[in-house]
Amino acid sequence: MFKKVVGISISAALGIAVMTGVHGVASAADEAKPAAGAAVDYSKISPSDLVKQTPKGQLKNPYKDSQADIVSKGEHIFLSYSCNGCHGGGGGGGMCPALTNDTWVYGGDDDTLFRLVTLGSDELQKQGYMRKGRENVVGPMPPFGTLIKNSDELWMILTFVRSKYSESADQAYKYGTPPDQQ
């Protein structure tokens, strides 16, 4: 009986809102979505939510690895989330792949890296991503999407990672496999 009354009350309230022209009834998920073409405030959206609402291939880092202040913040955040525990303090590798060479296990574009860190390697594979590169040590990437405070922090971490790309590595692969080689 209670469920029925609550269901009728909600239906009635929505009906009244529609009939009287009340607008602005939106879910929290809808509020997090930017309007088409609008700039995204990455500090207000979690990595998990950004991944859920952005089509594959559309995530682009707003920062450049030449921005020293962002790289410095990214390094601090990288260390604060203990990324160095697996990837080494400077991204040179450890029990997981190095982040400084030209081998990107799933691809090195912004979208793939953001999704990899957010979802982890197991979920990334479930979404159809395949391993492209091989490393001698490849532990699974755990999902950090619910641990990292917001998408802006993750973009700063990835900016730091890009800044550590070795000068001796093939520069054509800094952002993943070049399009003409895919």
* pLDDT at 182 (0 to 100): 63
Residue found under tokens 């070795």: 166
* pLDDT at 112 (0 to 100): 92
Strand ranges for 37-87 from DSSP E:
none
Report the C-alpha gap between 68 and 136 in whole angstroms.
31
Q: Which residues of 146-156 are buried (b: 16+ CB within 10 A; e: fewer)?
A: eebebbbbbbb
* pLDDT at 111 (0 to 100): 94
Domain boundaries, the chain: 1-32, 35-177
User: Which residue, 99, 144, 139, is CA-closest to 120?
Assistant: 144
* pLDDT at 99 (0 to 100): 77
Question: Regarding the domain with residue range 35-177, which homologous superfamily does it belong to in the CATH classification?
Answer: Cytochrome c-like domain (1.10.760.10)
Stated as kind and residue range, the H or E segment containing 70 is helix 68-80
**Tens-binned pLDDT, residue by residue, of the chain (182 aa):** 433 333 333 333 333 333 334 333 344 444 445 555 568 899 999 999 999 999 999 999 999 999 999 999 999 999 998 887 788 777 777 777 777 777 777 888 899 999 999 999 999 999 998 887 766 766 788 999 999 999 999 999 999 988 886 676 666 666 666 666 66
pTM of the predicted protein model: 0.72
The tokens for 76 are 């601090």
The tokens for 156 are 């700063």
